[in-house]
Structure 1
Amino acid sequence: MIKKKILIAEDEARIARILALELEHEGYETEIAGTGKEAFAAMQKGDFDLVLLDVMLPEISGFEVLRRVRMEDETTPIILVTARDSVYDKVNGLDHGANDYIAKPFEMEELLARVRSAIRTSEAQANKRGSGNIRIVGDLKADLMTRVVLKDNKEVELTKREFDLLVFLMEYKNQILTREQLLDAVWGFAYSGETNVVDVYIGYLRKKLDSKGESSLIHTVRGVGFTMKGTKDEH
């Protein structure tokens, strides 16, 4: 079973480390970000089951990180953690899309209970929305809402970007997609990074999805782009 992954966005190293140790003891996988910029970058690259987000982060405030994240991701549960306990801060956080709010100092058991509750609620909502959101190509299955990928009934762990790329290929199976189309769809029109990023991520997917002795699920069309082949009755 894949562990639930939690991002701890906290600039006080001692507190961040304590939170990480407690959460890991409870069976979670953790990652720490010490600034708002680091937290936002981590949330764009990684696929987290929950985020503990301190409001008073350097470089970019927790409220601003929350606002930016919610423009792209409405579902990842986010719990704001702060030393401030004013009604304004609570309302501001909830209005910007936070799922919960806890003020320092807090009891660790209460925080862990809130984490469990937020993840349970998120999973229940995802399951409720999930009907009709399954994509299948061969022995590969992707759930658009829970973001779970199964290959031959075994779960495959993908990053957010890998998942988005895979789903786009599955959505347009049997069609040849150019690198430009994939770049625009998955990375966005404003992407200004390395142009070979599509090939790099196709390589990541092949490494995680392809079985020894079998041809790759994702086919390269020389000089054009890539395609994923499936049958007409798959959805």
Structure 2
Amino acid sequence: MEGILVVEDDPQLGPALRRGLTAEGYRVELVRDGTTGLERALTDDHAVIVLDIMLPGLNGYRICSALRAAGLDTPVLMLTAKDGEYDEAEGLDTGADDYLVKPFSSVVLLARLRALLRRSATATTSRSSRSVLRAGELWADVTLRRAGRGTTEFALTPKEFALLTCLLRTPDHPVSKETILDEVWDPAYTGGTAIVEVYISALRKKIDAPFRTHSIETVRGYGYRLTLRDQP
């Protein structure tokens, strides 16, 4: 039985999520404040973390950032009453894997959770056919789900890692936004390609900005290209 940690302080939504997810066969732990949520996320094993942003104690952004800094790559689905691309970008920048705006339907929530669970399972499957993709100083071990530049390893979310490997498979060749959606996002996703731009921005901040390089090029009107030689 897969475990889900729900960090939600709403007195109605929290218990409702626990009942609904339990009915679907998940093992659910519900906590109602950010400090306890961070402690439980770090000390127990969960397949997915459902994390509200506005919480007493620590907000969801700070919790997610702390989890990634600690090396925990458990998929995080953020819940928020806020709606806007900057709010979503902030959540993704702190390491969230997906973002759901309240109010939402249980059907959509379950679809998002299943997608996160599938990607997480794929990332930790058999190590029997290890493969490392490379482009210049960039590398990604698709079996161990590790990536880095030279000797420096990145702390990527599952979706960021999937996006990087998608580009690494065809270095120096443009990849359309539609192709990226098909390979990285779940088929249940019905949004547009703007989400790809948000994740590309988040990925650049981790693999390029700290090294003052520009390895992900924008192909105007089409998509993106991962260059073999880093550009200053």
Band the TM-score falls in, shorter-chain normalisation: 0.5 to 0.7
* 1:73 matched residue in structure 2: 71
Aligned to 1:119: 117
- Indicate the RMSD between aligned Cα atoms, in angstroms: 2.1
Residue correspondence of structure 1 range 1-235 to structure 2 within 5 A = 3-127=1-125, 130-131=127-128
What are the Cα deviations for residues 28-84 of structure 1, in whole angstroms up to 9, with x where unaligned?
000011011010010111000000000001110100000000112342000000000
The alignment partner of 1:8 has SS state of strand
- What letter is aligned with 1:93? G
Q: C-alpha displacement at 1:132, in angstroms?
A: 8.5
Q: Distance in 2 between the 1:73 and 1:109 partners?
A: 31
Judge conservation of contact 1:75–1:122 (CA < 8 Å) in 2. no
**How far did 1:19 drift?**
0.4
Distance in 2, Cα, partners of 1:37 & 1:102: 22
Q: C-alpha offsets along residues 121-144 of structure 1, whole Å, 9 cap, x if unaligned? A: 11101116x4489xxxxxxxxxxx
Q: Please report the TM-score for the alignment, with normalisation by the length of structure 1.
A: 0.54
1:80 is paired with a residue of what secondary structure? Answer: strand
One-letter code aligned to 2:2: K
Give the Cα separation in 2 of the matches to 1:121 and 1:60. Answer: 28
* 1:96 to partner: Cα distance: 1.2
Q: Distance in 1 between matches of 2:36 and 2:113?
A: 21
TM-score by length of 2: 0.54
Aligned length, in residue pairs: 133
Cα offsets for 1:127-174 (capped at 9, x unmatched)? 16x4489xxxxxxxxxxx79xxxxxxxxxxxxxxxxxxxxxxxxxxxx
Unaligned runs of 5+ in 1: 134-144, 147-235
Q: What is the one-letter code of the residue matched to 2:68?
A: R
Q: SS in structure 2 opposite 1:27?
A: coil
Q: Distance in 2 between matches of 1:33 and 1:132?
A: 39
In 2: Cα distance, 1:28 partner to 1:57 partner:
23
Q: Distance in 1 between matches of 2:29 and 2:71?
A: 19
Q: Secondary structure at the match of 2:78?
A: strand
**What displacement does 1:13 show?**
2.1
**The residue matched to 2:77 in structure 1 has which SS?**
strand
Question: Any runs of at least 4 consecutive aligned residues in structure 1 with deviations exceeding 6 A, and if so which?
Answer: none
- 1:18 is matched by which residue type in structure 2? A
